[in-house]
Amino acid sequence: MSGSVRARRPASPPLGLPRPAAPQRFPHARQDHLDADERRVAASRGFKPGRSSHSPGGLNLAPAEWKLLLLVVLVASGVRLFRLSRPNSVVFDEVHFGKFASKYIKTQYFVDVHPPLAKLLITLAAFIFGYDGNFDFKDIGKVYDHVPYVAMRMVPATLGVATVPLAYLTLRALDCRATTALLASLFVTFENGMVTQSRHILLDSPLIFFTALTVFVWVGFCNEDKFEPFTEMWWIWLILSGLSLGAVVSCKWVGLFTIATIGVSTIWQLWVLLGDLRTPPRTWMKHFLARALCLIVLPILFYMAMFEIHFLILNGSGDGDGFMSSEFQHTLGGRGMADTFADVAIGSEVSIRHVNTQGGYLHSHPHNYPGGSKQQQITLYPHRDTNNLWRILNATADGGHESDWQSQPLQLLKPQMRIKLRHIETDKALHSHDVRPPVSDVDFQNEVSAYGMAGFIGDANDDWYLEIAKGDKRDKESGKRLRTLRTHFRLRHALTGCYLFSHKVKLPEWGWEQQEVTCNKNAVMANSLWFVETSTHPLFPADGPKVNYRLPGFLAKFTELQQVMWTTNAGLTDRHTYDSRPDSWPRLRRGINFWVKDHRQIYLIGNPLVWYLSSAAIFAYVVVRGILILRAKRGYRDFDNTKVVKYDSLCGFLFVGWCLHYLPFYIMGRQLFLHHYFPALYFAILLSCCGFDLVTSTLRPRVRLQIAAVLIIIAIWNFQYFSPLAYGNPWTKKKCYNAKWLKTWDFSCNDFLDDYAQYAGIVPPTPQRSEPPVATVGGEPGGRPPVLVNDQIPPVEKEHTTVAFGKAEPGVDIFAGDAVKDIKSEHAAPSPPAEEKEISSAFSKPSSTETSVDTEKKKGEEPANAASSSTSEPIAAAGKEADFSIQTHPATEAKDEEGHAHKNPQGPLDEPAAEANRAAKELYPEAQHKV
């Protein structure tokens, strides 16, 4: 049309009729009609060109895609559930997590470094299918008996299957093509490591599932936020993101890395909004508060709720008691204590606990050190026992006999008083001298022993000065004099100036692996603090002031348990046969041997194609992003391209997720395994598929599908090639050696047979009900190997089990730590094989502390939970005492250094023989006649 020609105006309507609306100059809504610059800005923020049709979370799947996704889920179910009942014996860390399920069902308190959600899900499956908690899960390869282990394995297996569609939906929500999403879902389906990990009672499959769920719902929220904020659907996706964050961190603390990933994305969103002049400050504050509420407060509440369930179930005493404070322990059933006198006086009968190592009792028993002074042992023992009872005497009085304090006026204990502590059961005094301790053999540490006998007044080495360190602010008198449960005090040795001291060092087996007590001249304040737990005195009035533990509430228990978990998690520093460092994970340098039995093996190793392709994608993203940055410095405007902006945005998000789930492991000194890389691997797989989507974006759909099909076929071939290691199927030595593509892949090919026909005669193992009952002493997974104790086995056969190289062994559990080894005592005579028997009935009358609520046992017995706690680390398992039979010795004959025999005199200078004779005569008089 010529510029000089005017456009004809529409004719005016007749009079009385409404005037028609003028046609819109822009047929689309103003916010959708953008110029070139506005389109670039919208693309940089992730907006799509057209927003007239919007599906929840940005997911716009065709009906055919849902059918395809259903088919993929069926394939994933077949892969992960195939022969789930095999092997029918304990595999790798099922030793830990199956045992935790047993403790949940028995409501016996335990401590683990991982939060409880995944363990609770496994326990729920076991409970529904009738598990009674009586299987001990003590050894890898032990055949399951009356355990619904298939149902328990179904929990991680089902969550592993559910991870597959999440990978598909996440990439579709990120606006990748259906072919790309299909490739990612099948990569996850046929990833050997993820398959192996999801087929057993382990926590990594739930962790990966909730990580994938968090990423998916967060991407859905971001899509809603780009479309229209503060709608009902916007709030739903945001709340789901918060709940999913709470779930992932409630499975393992690795979930904190997922929280960090979402946190970085949230900060970026708020930063972009802050720079948008069209967003009022009030609106920005609404965005901030909504995210803070749903992504910070909600996950914390979910996390705490899991621990509330944890505490409600574990309301009984168990082998985890010793890790907790005394106040915490008294919230557990069977650990309550009757009110005790608040004051402590000369002549009081007391039990004394250590403060810093979670309250082991100052303890002695009629066993002597094999070296040093060879006097009676002093230890810390985590359970109540009459061997924990001491009488406080005045060291400045003549003689220090019982008659002295009984005839004197009541004298309360005040600072700087010089006292003696006399062991009630054995009538020996707490004693120290210039002799090195059996384990901490250093100049500034002195041995602490029990010394003396009935009628022997002792010497100055029995004397200690009382120093009050601090009292309870709510009890003003506790800082002025010694008060039960309220005063923390130190005991300074009168002659040497050292302080009564203990630490998390255990004695060897001759000391029942109980905690060492020394007298330290350079004592750290925290490890030399003690407090009185119980106090009785015949001169105290019955209605005198009494005290008891102040029981903590949920928040106090929750906080204390987090501190214990953090401290002990950081202490997982022991080496393991199959541990590895983070630098080897992207290269798949080695795996983990899970199980070896019946010429079959389960070995955790990844799918080489999936693994190396994902690692290559990480490297490629770094290189390409670096090139783009350099080009931008040179004036190139690559980021004006909407395709570059789109893929940089979604690949950058996945790369940040990979970095935050992988790089923090470099600063960890704790023990690490290949399976710690799996959450980062999930992000790497998605990133590799996003790279595939970019590279094939200019190709025809058919060509793109053909390339994806080739990659999928190779991935399936790799999976099938290594599948005998995932399923524990028969394999031949030749095929096994051919599969060792890297020299560092250390699965044991010699365990396989030469030909498949040889497997025909192998019968799967079944539980042997006729075997005599077997118990274990120590050796909970991750610590020293367990000792099999069977009364029907000759003593020479009761030896430690060992794990040969190439055989499966569980991961280290800090709560089953190795006992500190004493090199000098390795050749000492073997200790008695069962629990130490109390000899309280031979020495004194019943103690008043035996009336405590459901905690004291009959005389002649150790607490029932002593046996179960022997496998725990430092305090909780300070070791279990064993039964012993007292050997009677005639006035013993010994040999001097030159080999000449001589008789040892009986009395205070030769306590072991005299004490043994006296105890034997009182406890077993009939044995004397037989001899």
The whole-number pLDDT of residue 326 equals 82
Q: Which two tokens stand for residue 486?
A: 């309220």
Q: pLDDT value at position 473?
A: 86
First to last CA, the chain: 132
Taking the C-alpha atoms of residue 702 and residue 900, their distance in angstroms, rounded to an integer, is 97
- Domain annotation covers residue 788: no
- Strand pairing of 787-789 and 775-777? antiparallel
Q: How many CA atoms lie within 13 A of 866 on its CB side?
A: 25
* 928 located within any domain: no
Question: 3-class DSSP state for residue 230?
Answer: coil
pLDDT band at 403 (very low <50, low <70, confident <90, very high): low
Q: Is 157:84 a contact under the CB 8 Å cutoff? A: yes
Q: What's the whole-number mean pLDDT along residues 689-706?
A: 94
N residues, the chain: 931
For residues 120 and 250, membership in a common domain is answered with yes
- Averaged pLDDT, 564-587: 86
Same domain, 369 and 490: yes
- 27-31, 87-91, 515-519: the lowest-pLDDT one: 27-31
Note whether residue 612 is domain-resident. Answer: yes
Residues 671 and 811 sit within 8 Å (Cβ to Cβ): yes
- Smallest CA-to-CA distance from 579 within 667, 662, 674 is with 674
Q: Does a structural domain hold residue 192?
A: yes
DSSP characters over 769-829 = TTSPP-EEES--TTSSPPEEE-TTS-GGG--B----TTS--PPP-GGGPPPPP-GGGTTSP
What residue numbers bound the domain in which 436 lies? Answer: 338-548
Residues 210 and 274 in one domain: yes
Q: What is the pLDDT of residue 911?
A: 44
Chain segment 701-757, per-residue pLDDT in tens: 999 999 999 999 999 999 999 999 999 999 999 999 999 999 999 888 988 999 888
Could you give the CA distance from residue 562 to residue 603 in angstroms, rounded to a whole number? 33
- For residues 841-854, give the mean pLDDT: 36
pLDDT of 205 above 90: yes
Query: For the chain, what percent of residues have pLDDT higher than 70?
Result: 75
C-alpha span between 812 and 817 (Å, rounded): 8
β-strand 515-520 against 389-394: which pairing, if any? unpaired
Contacts 24+ apart (CB under 8 A), 747-756: 747/591, 747/593, 747/601, 747/603, 747/605, 748/593, 748/596, 748/601, 748/806, 748/807, 750/806, 751/596, 751/599, 751/600, 751/601, 751/806, 752/599, 752/600, 752/601, 753/599, 756/730, 756/732
User: In the structure encoding, which two tokens stand for residue 413, read together?
Assistant: 């204990």
Q: Who wins on pLDDT, 917 or 611?
A: 611
- The region of weakest confidence among 213-217, 577-581, 802-806 is 802-806
Are both 379 and 297 inside the same structural domain? no
Q: Answer yes or no: do 174 and 291 share one domain.
A: yes
Is 399 a residue whose pLDDT tops 70? no
Within a domain: 57: no
Whole-angstrom distance, CA of residue 586 vs CA of residue 574: 23
Range name among 138-142, 598-602, 896-900 with the lowest pLDDT average:
896-900
CA distance 49 to 259: 31
Query: Residue 487 in contact with residue 471, Cβ under 8 Å?
Result: yes
Q: What is the pLDDT of residue 405?
A: 67
Tokens representing 802 are 């060992």
Please determine, for residue 151, whether its predicted confidence score (pLDDT) is greater than 90.
yes
Between the ranges 133-142, 281-290, 454-463, where is the mean pLDDT highest? 281-290
The residue type at 469: A
Question: Do 237 and 102 share a domain, yes or no?
Answer: yes
pLDDT at 10: 59
C-alpha 651/C-alpha 655 separation (Å) is: 6
pLDDT at 329: 86
Contacts of 195 (CB under 8 A, 6+ apart): 79, 80, 160, 719, 726
**Does 358 lie in the same domain as 221?**
no
Alpha helical stretches, state H, 275-369: 281-292, 298-313, 326-329
Same domain, 120 and 213: yes
> Pairing relation of β-strands 418-423 and 361-368?
unpaired
Residues contacting residue 898 through CB under 8 Å, at least 6 positions apart:
none
Least-confidence region, from 458-467, 531-540, 839-848, 917-926: 839-848
Residues 620 and 720 in one domain: yes
Is residue 857 predicted with pLDDT exceeding 90?
no
CA angle, 566 then 569 then 571, to 5°:
110
Question: For residues 483 and 475, what is the distance between their CA atoms, to the nearest angstrom?
Answer: 9
Asked if the structure places residue 807 within a domain, the reply is no
- The residue out of 530, 548, 566 marking a domain boundary is 548
Residue that finishes a domain, picked among 500, 522, 548: 548
Q: 659 CB contacts (<8 Å, ≥6 apart)?
A: none
Q: What is the pLDDT of residues 95-135, one digit of tens each?
A: 999 999 999 999 999 999 999 999 999 999 999 999 999 99
Do residues 150 and 287 make contact, with C-beta atoms less than 8 angstroms apart? Answer: no
pLDDT value, residue 384: 84
Please list, in sequence order, all residues whose beta carbon lies within 8 angstroms of the beta carbon of residue 660, skipping any fewer than 6 positions away: 257, 260, 261, 264
Concatenated DSSP letters of 352-368:
EEETTTT-PEEEEEEEE
Going by C-alpha positions, the residue among 604, 564, 571 that lies closest to residue 817 is: 571
Peptide bond into 87 cis (omega under 30): yes
Backbone angles phi, psi at 520, to 5 degrees: -105, 125
In a shared domain, residues 287 and 421: no
Tell me how crowded residue 545 is: count the other CB atoms within 10 A of its CB. Answer: 13
Round the average pLDDT of the chain to a whole number and report it. Answer: 80
> Identity (one letter) of the amino acid at 288?
F
To the question of pTM greater than 0.85 for the whole model, the response is no
Q: What is the pLDDT of residue 766?
A: 66
Question: Rounded mean pLDDT of 22-36?
Answer: 50
Same domain as 535, residue 423 = yes
Pair 303, 410 in one domain: no
**In terms of C-beta density within 10 A (0-12 exposed, 13-18 middle, 19 or more buried), how is residue 390 classed?**
buried
**Three-state secondary-structure class, residue 603:** strand
Span 811-839, average pLDDT? 39
Asked if the model's pLDDT at residue 223 lies above 90, the reply is yes
Determine how β-strand 429-432 pairs with β-strand 445-451: antiparallel
Percentage of the chain lying above the pLDDT 90 cut: 51
Residue 900: pLDDT band with limits 50, 70, 90: very low
Environment class of 35 (CB within 10 Å of its CB; exposed 0-12, middle 13-18, buried 19+): exposed
**C-alpha gyration radius of the chain:** 35
- Which 8-state DSSP code applies to residue 296? I
Residue position matching structure tokens 């194609």 = 609
What does 69-117 look like in DSSP terms, one character per residue?
HHHHHHHHHHHHHTTTT-S-B--TTHHHHHHHHHHHHHTB----SS-SH
**Burial zone of 773 (CB within 10 Å; 0-12 exposed, 13-18 middle, 19+ buried):** exposed
Return the SS3 of 552.
coil
pLDDT for the residue 768: 55
Number of structural domains the chain divides into:
2
SS3 assignment, position 279: coil
Q: Which of 479, 514, 548 is the last residue of a domain?
A: 548
Rounded to 5 degrees, φ, ψ at 903 are -90, 135
Q: How confident is the model at residue 43 (pLDDT cuts 50, 70, 90)?
A: low
Give the CATH number for residue 467: 2.80.10.50
pLDDT for res 765: 67
Asked whether residue 1 is assigned to any structural domain, the reply reads no
Residue 895, domain member (yes or no): no
